[in-house]
Amino acid sequence: MDKLYAVVDIETTGNGHKGQKITEIAILIFDGKVVINEFTSLVNPEQNIPPFITNLTGITNAMVRNAPKFYEIAKKVQDITKDTIFVAHNVNFDYNIIRDEFKSLGHIFNRKKLCTVRLTRKIVPGLPSYSLGNICTGENIPINGRHRAKGDAEATVELFRRLIKRDNQFIINAFLNPRSRQATLPPLLDKKAVDNLPEKFGVYYFKNVAKEIIYVGKANNIKQRVISHFYDRKKKEREMCLETAHISFTETGSELLALLLESSEIKHRYPTYNRAQKHHREAIGLFSYEDQKGVIHLAFNKLKLTPNPITTFYSLQECRNYLEILCKDFTLCPKYCHLQTNVTSCFHHQLKDCKGVCCNEETPENYNIRVLDAISSIGTGAKNLVLKESGRTKNEIGFALILEGDYKGFGYVDLSQDASLNNPEDYQFFVEPKKDNSDIQKILASYLKKKEALKNLENEEISI
């Protein structure tokens, strides 16, 4: 065999992936039959080893105090693994930590990889567990020093030797082919989970071993989008993929409904690896009231404290910006719109932009006429819309429903049913109710803007 393999195992300061440092490393150079070279060393991680890690590995702070730091062994690691294929059990864990150590030193570490977890899944399918300990127990492979770098590396060499002998379908060569999708699949994920994904619009869910949702994404082609995560080299993506053990999905029939479902699911489930759209901003309600002087105020407060609001906003700044426009368009007083507080008369009066209701130069009756006009103008843009899209099958349509400017949710109806629905209100019986929020409004605004830009709506009705 002309290939050389660097079978690697490392011990670290933690069991996660962020900020870990190496405490021990073993590299065995294997030609497919025998080990022809090796390097093993404790490593000073330059940080404390937690007690639970010491209990697991037996490596103490005292043991590594005088050990070389990684930068002192980096050249040896670089040289001994040169022109080899990097092999490990759950290869991305060991490889990424070593690569990050080199990156911190300003160097690039780049090797072809093989994962003995994925190889064993393919060559020896159906095992109840693919952890190194359980596989070695089933294969009667001794481990002389479990959770120590050399002991685990030697066991991995023997496991790899047996996999080579059983590989009568050239699976190892397929994994080494850079075009092979299998070479990049997360080690905890069964290939069938990816093979069974549809190439359609929808939302997909990455789940950990406990089947907890750790990421929600939308896609125009679910399978292609999921696979693209496995090729992403960003640290966050690598960490997420290492945790992914299960994938599920929901078809939506269209990109719009996928976007709406994704946004709703992120806010409902708070997945670990979703950052955008994760935080829910409390809605602001705009309302009016008349004070003892007879002046009508426009005021705002949290929606849950505002019964029957005139309109709703999804950020305080959005609300204030809107009120400033009303003040300008209808010559309203910012004091009585609660934009300027703790003032006797508003600053706008000095600029001649307020007619003086705040300093008794205008009567409440005259001022209130403009306030009522402003209130009447609010909501004139509110529409009842049924945004129709493709369904999940040829016999249905998908739609998003907006009533009086508020998003109500989305749903699906059979084509035969759609013909009998005459008003937007009729569609609410087929809607899965969803909450409106600023992210949803952005999605809908962008969708409507694109539709308007196409100007091909004569034969495509998007509203009723």
Structure tokens at 347: 């600053």
Task: Work out the average pLDDT over 87-112.
Answer: 94
Residue 290's pLDDT band (boundaries 50, 70, 90)?
A: very high
Task: Work out the average pLDDT over 340-360.
Answer: 88
**Helices assigned H by DSSP within 284-409:** 316-330, 347-350, 364-377
Residue 460 confidence (pLDDT): 46
Higher confidence at residue 96 or residue 180? 96
Task: Work out the average pLDDT over 286-310.
Answer: 89
Task: Work out the average pLDDT over 377-399.
Answer: 85
CA dihedral 100, 102, 103, 107 (to 10 degrees): -160
Straight-line distance from the first to the last Cα atom of the chain, in angstroms, rounded to the nearest whole number: 71
Determine contact, residues 45/66, Cβ cutoff 8 Å: no
Core vs surface per residue 85-114: b (16+ CB within 10 A) or e? bbbbbbbbbbbbbbbbbbeeeeeebebebb
CA dihedral 62, 65, 70, 71 (to 10 degrees): 180
The CA–CA distances, whole Å, from 431 to 163, 190, 244, 413 equal: 53, 35, 32, 9
Domains with residue ranges and CATH for the chain: 5-182 (3.30.420.10), 191-269 (3.40.1440.10), 284-377 (no CATH), 385-459 (no CATH)
> What tens digit of pLDDT does each residue of 16-63 get?
556 789 999 999 999 999 999 999 999 999 999 999 999 999 999 999
> What tens digit of pLDDT does each residue of 240-253 get?
999 999 999 999 99
Residues 375, 323: Cα–Cα separation, whole Å:
11
Task: Work out the average pLDDT over 389-396.
Answer: 94
Percentage of the chain lying above the pLDDT 70 cut? 92
Residue 382's pLDDT band (boundaries 50, 70, 90)?
A: low
The amino acid at 170: F
Residues 140, 135: Cα–Cα separation, whole Å:
8
Residue 458 confidence (pLDDT): 43
User: Mean of the per-residue pLDDT values for the chain?
Assistant: 89
Residues 133, 260: Cα–Cα separation, whole Å:
44
Residue 463 confidence (pLDDT): 46
Instruction: Answer yes or no: is pLDDT of 276 > 90.
Output: no
Task: Give the β-pairing of 202-207 and 406-414.
Answer: unpaired
List 297's β-bridge partners, or say none. Answer: 289
Phi/psi for 325 (5° steps) reads -65, -40
List 160's β-bridge partners, or say none. Answer: none
Determine contact, residues 215/273, Cβ cutoff 8 Å: yes
Residue 457's pLDDT band (boundaries 50, 70, 90)?
A: very low
Residue 389 confidence (pLDDT): 94
Read off the DSSP letter of residue 335.
Answer: T
Residues 214, 266: Cα–Cα separation, whole Å:
10
Residue 1's pLDDT band (boundaries 50, 70, 90)?
A: very low
Phi/psi for 89 (5° steps) reads -85, 115
Task: Give the Cβ contact number of residue 228 at 10 Å.
Answer: 13
Give the residue among 74, 64, 73 at the shortest CA–CA distance from 11. Answer: 64
Residue 453 confidence (pLDDT): 54
Residues 354, 362: Cα–Cα separation, whole Å:
9
- Residue 318: alpha-carbon gap to chain centroid: 26
**Helices assigned H by DSSP within 20-131:** 51-57, 61-64, 70-80, 91-104, 116-123
Task: Work out the average pLDDT over 104-108.
Answer: 93
Instruction: Answer yes or no: is pLDDT of 421 > 80.
Output: yes
